[in-house]
Every structure is written in C-alpha cells, then in structure tokens.
C-alpha cells in the first residue's frame, strides 16, 4: 500500500513535560528554531479571539 494511503493507529507521543515546556514559548520562536519547518504560512490568521492558549500534539 502506498505511504499516503496508510493509517497508523498507534504512535509514540512526546512526553507531557516536553509539551508543557513548549507551552511557555511563543510559537514564532519555536518555528524559527526549527528552520520554519512545519510552520504555518504567515498568511494564515486567527479568526477568533481565544481566551486561552493552546499547546498540544497534532495528528496530521
């Protein structure tokens, strides 16, 4: 089966403490440190006024 057509039901997640540590950093700083790898384009804008910060693991 081609790589693009597989579903992985189990995956290794990063440690919760690591995710918590990233929650203290601005997203732009993290993206810059990663060479902007996997960062959203600057044209993507927030369309709401969130009252809470979000930080977590994304399944893509």
**What are the tokens at 19?**
């995710």
pLDDT digits (tens, 9 = 90+) for 4-59: 788 778 888 999 999 999 899 988 888 888 887 777 777 878 788 777 777 888 77
Does 2 have pLDDT greater than 70? Answer: no
C-alpha span between 60 and 53 (Å, rounded): 20
Does 1 have pLDDT greater than 60? Answer: no
This model's pTM is above 0.85? no
1, HSE (Cβ side, Cα atoms, 13 Å): 5
- Please tell me the predicted confidence (pLDDT) of residue 20: 93
């Amino acid at each position: 089966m081609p790589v693009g057509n597989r579903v992985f039901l189990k995956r290794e997640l990063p440690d919760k403490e690591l995710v918590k540590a990233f929650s203290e950093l601005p997203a732009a700083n993290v993206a810059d440190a990663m060479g902007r790898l996997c960062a959203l384009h600057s044209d993507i804008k927030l369309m709401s006024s969130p009252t809470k910060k979000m930080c977590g693991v994304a399944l893509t």
